[in-house]
Amino acid sequence: MSKILARRGRWSAYRLVLMQVFVAGIVTIIFSGMWGVRFGASALAGTIIAVLPNFVFATLAFSHSGASSADKIIKSFYLGEAVKMLLTIVLFSLVFLNMDVEFMPLFVTYAIALTVHWAAPLYFKQS
């Protein structure tokens, strides 16, 4: 039963990540189509910086479930959040050091992806 609960939680988190990818992907295509490849690449970088850490968090945080493994659940959430923050910092650093990015599409796409992640649970039906 606990593996089923972990799978449900992980799938819900993955749906959030997929919604982020979808919306941020559309924004990336708009930036690329209206302002060119450089803006599109910057928007894509913002998408990856927002989505990849959330995917890693979802994978780590929902690896355990059940009342008997409450300590493992808490530790996996803390570990997932710590890895998410560190990965976000590393990805921003890599982008700023290795790419010639436009800041506006990078941060706009990043902010939109995070906003989708915060707002998406309002649209999902909970059973």
pLDDT at 1: 47
Each residue's pLDDT tens digit in the chain (127 positions)?
A: 456 666 777 788 888 899 999 999 999 999 999 999 999 999 999 999 999 999 999 888 887 665 567 788 888 889 999 999 999 999 999 999 999 999 999 999 999 999 998 887 777 665 4
Token couple for 84: 């998410």
pLDDT at 99: 93
pLDDT at 73: 82
The helix, strand and coil proportions of the chain, stated in percent and rounded to the nearest 5, come to 85, 0, 15
Return d(Cα 89, Cα 83) in angstroms, integer: 10
